[in-house]
Amino acid sequence: MSYKQTKIFNVDKINDEDKKREYISDAALWISEGEVVAFPTETVYGLGANALDEKAIAKIFEAKGRPSDNPLIVHIANRDQLSELVTEITPAAEKLMEAFWPGPLTIIFKKKGPIAPNVTAGLDTVAIRMPSHPLALKLIKAANVPVAAPSANLSGKPSPTTAAHVYHDLQGRIAGVVDGGSTGVGLESTVLDCSVHPPMLYRPGGVTIEELKEVVGEVAVDPSLKNTEDAPRSPGMKYTHYAPKGSLTLVHDVSRIQALLDEAREQGKKVGVLTTEERAAEYKADTVIACGAREDLSTVAAKLYEALRQFDQENVDVIYSETFPNEGVGAAIMNRLEKAAGGRVI
């Protein structure tokens, strides 16, 4: 499906509250009528469609070029919607919703009701979250339907943290984009399966495993975080994601990076390095990107996808990246970098 023009609902750049409400109402109407509209959340931009409409959901897969065996996250605006979509809310799920909703935590429940089958890729569970971004909540409320929304990018590419990123990838492939400015967290939500005991982490994200354990105690980590050959049980578990055009390699020993850059340049490659503010001045490369501060990894998370897209803009052939502690938000950063690198680690 193609569109002559993807409409931008420029909510971020206007001060007229009546106009903002009009834009949100129009975008919500499109979603309720079966169109696909991108919108901001506190994590990344999502590509939203009516989660009850199988044909509308098919448009998401078509627009992204996303494999249809990859389930989607359903976004809701209030708890009343949840009871219509799941068979049981476990005590663990109840505690987690109280602690982290609205926010960047997706919880997997046993499903029921009218959710379109292609939302869940044939599974008997459904992934649901309540975003905290005010525009997302207003849009979902106005649409008056649960909204399935993966990241609003071409499948496999870095997720979008601005409306411009969405437009670059999906212009002419979707009906519209609600421009709400830059997102905050910068990485997708944490995905936790509460249909099993103990709850199982399928994707690290904006809520850390340490924070989850503080609320519910034991949390298991699914081994398929690193081995995703089987059909995925949640969004974000399968296929190479977040990848820039250039070849990305992760390097644990930062003392080796400059030699690797020099070797690639001698081969005629345009080279780049992904680092932090603390070390940016140490490297000589065609493109050096300081992705936040190592002393505050939340700044790295917020800028990671923008940095990967910047390498594309600079037409970098080979990228070497520093690595980060695999704990706290660093676990989510490393999860995304490992997928973007496709297993290339030194």
Q: Quick check: bond before 198 cis, omega within 30?
A: yes
Give yes or no for residue 227 having a pLDDT over 70: no
**Do residues 177 and 36 share a domain?**
yes
* 253 and 216 co-located in one domain: no
Check residue 2 and give its pLDDT. Answer: 61
Q: Say whether both 211 and 145 belong to one domain.
A: yes
Q: Domain boundary residue among 163, 192, 225?
A: 225
- Mean pLDDT to the nearest integer, 268-286: 97
Report the percentage of the chain scoring pLDDT > 90: 85
At 290, phi and psi to the nearest 5? -90, 110
**CA 330/CA 70 separation, integer angstroms:** 25
Cα angle 115, 116, 121 (rounded to 5 degrees) comes to 105
Tell whether 240 is covered by a domain.
no
Please write the tens of the pLDDT for every residue from 279-294: 999 999 999 999 999 9
Question: Residue 158's pLDDT is what?
Answer: 93
Residue 218, helix vs strand vs coil: coil
Cα 268 from chain centroid (whole Å): 34
Residue 205 has pLDDT above 90, yes or no: yes
Do residue 198 and residue 328 come from a single domain?
no
Q: Is the model's pLDDT at 170 over the cut of 50?
A: yes
Average pLDDT for the chain: 92
Same domain, 27 and 133: yes
Residues 181 and 105 in one domain: yes
DSSP 3-state assignment of 202? strand
Res 240 pLDDT > 90: no
For residue 102, say if its preceding peptide bond is cis, omega within 30 degrees of 0: yes
pLDDT of residue 226: 57
- Higher-pLDDT residue of 195, 4: 195
* Domain-embedded: residue 2: no
> Do 189 and 319 share a domain, yes or no?
no
**Is there a domain that residue 337 lies in?**
yes
Confidence (pTM): 0.91
Indicate whether 221 and 251 sit together in one domain: no
Neighbours of 210 (CB within 10 A): 12
Q: Note whether 115 and 146 are within 8 A (CB).
A: yes
| pLDDT digit string, tens, across residues 3-62 | 778 999 999 888 889 999 999 999 999 999 999 999 999 999 999 999 999 999 999 999
Which residues belong to the annotated binding site for L-threonine? 43, 75, 129, 149, 189
What interhelical angle do 329-341 and 297-313 show, nearest 10? Answer: 20
For residues 209 and 288, state if they share a domain.
no
| Least confident span in 64-73, 225-234, 244-253 | 225-234
Indicate the annotated binding residues.
43, 66, 70, 75, 125, 129, 149, 151, 159, 189, 203, 242
Query: What are the respective helix, strand and coil percentages of the chain, to the nearest 5?
Result: 35, 20, 45
The pLDDT assigned to 159 comes to 93
Residue 234 lies in a domain: no
Look up the CATH number of the domain holding residue 325. Answer: 3.40.50.11030
Two structure tokens written together for 107: 């919880």
Taking residues 303-332, report their average pLDDT.
96
Task: Find the CATH number of the domain harbouring 158.
Answer: 3.90.870.10
DSSP 8-state code for residue 344: -
Please tell me whether residues 62 and 199 are part of one structural domain: yes
Residue 152 lies in a domain: yes
The domain of 81 spans: 7-225
Are 34 and 123 in a shared domain? yes
Q: What is the pLDDT of residue 230?
A: 45
| Per-residue confidence (pLDDT) for residue 235, from 0 to 100 | 52
**Tally of structural domains, the chain:** 2
Instruction: Name the domain boundary from 161, 194, 225.
Output: 225
91-117 residue pLDDT tens? 999 999 999 999 999 999 999 989 999
In this structure, the answer to whether residues 280 and 180 fall within a common structural domain is no
**Which amino acids are annotated as binding site for ATP, given as ranges?**
66, 70, 125, 151, 159, 203, 242
Token digits of residue 194: 């509460």
